[in-house]
Amino acid sequence: MGTIRRFEELECWKEAREFVKLIYGITRKEKFGKDFELVSRVRRSSVSSMDNAAEGFHRNSSKDFMKFLDYSRSSVAETVSHCYVAVDQNYINENEMERVIQQADMLEESE
User: The CATH number of the domain where 28 resides is what?
Assistant: 1.20.1440.60
pLDDT tens digit sequence for 59-101: 989 999 999 999 999 999 999 999 999 999 999 999 999 999 9
In a domain, 6, yes or no: no
Cβ neighbours of residue 90 closer than 8 Å, sequence gap 6 or more: 31
In a domain, 26, yes or no: yes
How many degrees, rounded to 5, is the angle at CA 57 between CA 55 and CA 62? 120
Is 69 a domain residue? yes
Query: Is residue 1 a part of any domain in this protein?
Result: no
- Check whether 1 has a pLDDT greater than 60: no
| Distances 48 to 34, 88, 109 between C-alpha atoms, Å | 22, 24, 17
Within a domain: 89: yes
Backbone phi and psi for residue 4, each to the nearest 5 degrees, phi listed first: -80, 125
Instruction: Answer yes or no: are the C-beta atoms of 13 and 48 closer than 8 Å.
Output: no
8-45: pLDDT as tens digits: 999 999 999 999 999 999 999 999 999 999 999 999 99
| pTM of the predicted structure, to 2 decimals | 0.92
Q: Give the residue numbers spanning the domain of 102.
A: 11-110
Whether the pLDDT of residue 105 is over 70: the answer is yes
For residue 104, pLDDT over 90 is answered with: yes
Structural domain count, the chain: 1
The CB density around residue 4, as the number of other CB atoms within 10 Å, is 12
Q: Rounded distance, CA 35 to CA 14, Å?
A: 28
Looking at the domain assignment, is residue 3 inside a domain?
no
String of b and e for 66-97 (b: at least 16 CB within 10 Å)? eebbebbbebbebbbebbeebeeeebbeeebb
